[in-house]
Structure 1
Amino acid sequence: MAGDSESNGNHVLNVNLDGANHNPPPPVQKPKQEPSLFVSVPFLQKLIAEVVGTYFVIFAGCGAVVVNLAMDKVVTSPGISITWGLVVMVMVYSVGHISGAHFNPAVTIAFATTKRFPWKQVPPYIVAQVIGSTLANGTLRLMFSGKQNHFAGTMPAGSDMQSFVIEFIITFYLMFVVSGVATDNRAIGELAGLAVGSTVLLNVLFAGPVSGASMNPARSLGPAIVHRQFKGLWIYIVSPILGAISGALVYNTIRFTDKPLPEITKSASFLKGAGRSGSTSTN
């Protein structure tokens, strides 16, 4: 038996009848140390994706605001809403598989609160998002100077309380949708970008004239830093974070069910129902 164990290459402790141990015990292997968070190449790739993704989201969205103000309302309010929705959708599909396409400190904090994102990665993500937003607004300020230099940030059009409440509601709505399409495997994942972009478009369309429809502390911090205008900024930091956390928690509350998966997916999407029977069902 000892000869067989040695010939097949297995590391077996062989003991003779006299109790003499001729093979030393195998060395104890130390556990492999994981690379540090800040030197991990995949994590750095995620941070770069967040910087680039946030940059393009803010550059296009705030760019639409600046062009509209500088070019005699040529973009129009609906056009600004469409721009925000489209750029969010495009960037979700572009880098969502790399970094999760947060682009928003409120979303990152909400994911961490519901244990779907590690807390230790939250500060670097937020820094990356604020950097992307600040660089985007810095680029716009360099491009549009003089009479074309306009503040593309968010400020309350009415009372602070009015803007606080509406920012809470629309961010709640946004995070509720994000939780549904991006974290629930019963949803159609391919439509996540379309759903999130459409939600942003809808929110900006009706809430933009009231509060600016930020839903994103980085979106408001970037222009505030570049233009040094901090009036009402606390609203766009506190309210979206509270709204996003609430939206994620509420979706988590309704996520759990005792129904079997086939029964859930049978009516989980009207698109699936239409594909089978040609009509939607409320059952």
Structure 2
Amino acid sequence: MSGSNATRRKEESWFRTEFLEPMNDFKNPRQEWRRLFSELFGTFLLVIVAAGGGMMSQAFPDTISRQAAVVAPGLMVMGIILFMGKVSGAHLNPVVSLAFALRRDFPWRRVPGYIIVQLLGATLAALFLQSVVGVSASYGSNYPASSYTDGAAFWMEFVLTLGLVSVILGTASGAQNIGIIGAFGVGSYIALAGLWGSPISGTSMNPARTFGPDLVGGDFSSYWVYVVGPLAGALVAVAFGYVLRGRGGGKAGSGAGQGALFTEVDDQTKD
């Protein structure tokens, strides 16, 4: 009996040391998995709504308007930033991760992991939608309008992503940080960009959001538009951010870009 008690105590001690204590230590740098899970889950939710609008419209004609389909992702992003932004920064988008890294508000070593789980989250969402809704995931992807060229869609994605990343970096800067109100700024921009630009390019502004439905639907015919356009827009937004606010977003920008788990601040950025 005593041997059984000793074994149980040893197991309890191991469980507490190896599992409970690390779980409770949110600032431990080993908690990177929390950030990655947050990005995966957040991107999954975003694509459920963003791709789901087109797929539900195909399954149930005349039930979802274009206005509703393009506003919904903005509302979802707003909710995700509010409830998970403090964990990972709620990037949900590879070009946002790259932009924060270029601004020195996000460590470069974390970028590959973020991008991988963002692509995975988008793919899982597309798989879920296709299996439940019963139509091809390609109906939830982004393609240039039939009467427009890939080049026109590229420029639309470039300009819209330039605005999106400018809003994200601006509301995360040390000089202009506006806390959780930033969620409303980002969400509102996504909704307004969709209302204006969706007829031409679908207003992806996010390589992961388009990757999942393209992969599951098996159609990458215009995918380059939704990689190169947003990437170019993000790079220009970073340059504009330097002109407007200088180098980096300081402690506020780093906190917004990384979340609250073991936030690192570049010594060369301003406070």
Category of TM-score, reference length = shorter chain = 0.7 to 0.9
Q: Which amino acid aligns with 2:130?
A: R
Larger Rg: 1
Q: Is the 8 A contact 1:107 1:241 kept in 2?
A: no
CA distance in 2, matches of 1:92, 1:81: 18
Could you give the per-residue CA deviations for residues 55-83 of structure 1, whole angstroms, max 9, x where no partner exists?
00111121122112221131101101220
Q: 2:140 aligns with which of 116, 141, 152?
A: 152
Provide the secondary structure at the position in 2 that maps to 1:155: coil
1:85: Cα distance to partner?
Answer: 0.9
* 2:119 corresponds to which of 130, 144, 150: 130
Match 1:246 to one of 236, 240, 259: 236
> In 2, Cα distance between the equivalents of 1:207 and 1:226?
25
Q: Deviations over 1:155-203 (max 9, x none)?
A: 1111011001010000000000001112334332121100000000011
SS in 1 for 2:234: helix
- Deviations along 1:5-32, one digit per CA (max 9) or x if unpaired, are xxxxxxxxxxxxxxxxxxxxxxxxxxxx
Query: Normalising to structure 1: TM-score of the pair?
Result: 0.74
CA contact (8 A) 2:42 2:90 kept: yes
- Distance across 2 between alignment mates of 1:182 and 1:218: 22
Deviation at 1:54, TM superposition (A): 0.4
Alignment partner for residue 176 of structure 1, among 166, 178, 183? Answer: 166
Secondary structure in structure 2 of the residue aligned to 1:186: coil
Letter in 2 for 1:226: V
Alignment of 1:164 onto 2:154: yes
Q: Which 10-residue stretch deviates more, 180-189 or 195-204?
A: 180-189
- In percent, how many aligned pairs have the same letter? 33
1:205 aligns with 2:195: yes
> Is the helix fraction higher in 1 or 2?
2
Q: Does 1:107 align with 2:96?
A: yes
CA 1:242–1:42: 2 relative to 1, 3 Å? same
Aligned match of 2:227 = 237
**1:222 aligned to 2:212?**
yes
Change (3 A) 1:88 1:149: closer
SS at 2:180 equivalent: helix
| Alignment correspondent of 1:187 | 177
8 Å CA contact 2:47, 2:209 repeated in 1:
yes
What does the per-residue CA deviation read over 1:96-126, in whole Å, with 9 as the maximum and x for residues that have no partner? 1000000000111111112111111111100
RCO greater where, 1 or 2, for CA within 8 Å and sep 6 or more? Answer: 2
Any unmatched runs of 5+ in structure 1?
1-38, 258-283
Residue 59 (1) aligns with residue 59 (2): no
Q: Once the two structures are superposed, what CA deviation does each residue of 1:140-161 show, in whole Å capped at 9, x if it has no partner?
A: 0000226x77621111111011
Q: Is the 8 A contact 2:137 2:214 kept in 1?
A: no
Q: Which runs of 5+ in 2 are unaligned?
A: 1-27, 248-271
Matched AA of 2:144: P
Paired with 2:218 and 2:29, the residues of 1 have a C-alpha distance of: 35
SS at match of 1:151: helix
Partner of 1:48: 37
- Asked if 1:118 corresponds to 2:107, the answer is yes
Over 3 Å counting, the alpha-carbon distance change for 1:117 and 1:234 in structure 2 is same
Report the Cα offset of residue 252 of structure 1: 2.2
Question: Displacement, 1:256?
Answer: 4.0
Amino acid at match of 2:158: F
Structure 2 residue identity aligned to 1:134: T
Question: Do 2:126 and 2:137's aligned partners in 1 also have CA atoms closer than 8 Å?
Answer: no
Measured in 1, the distance between the counterparts of 2:43 and 2:175 equals 26
Determine if contact 1:70/1:149 at 8 Å carries over to the other structure. no
- Segment of structure 1 superposing worse, 149-158 or 81-90: 149-158
Q: What is the TM-score normalised by the length of structure 2?
A: 0.77
Partners of 2:40 and 2:212 in 1: CA distance: 12
Tell whether the 8 Å contact from 1:58 to 1:219 is kept in structure 2 after alignment. Answer: yes
SS of residue in 2 equivalent to 1:230: coil
Question: How many residue pairs were aligned?
Answer: 218
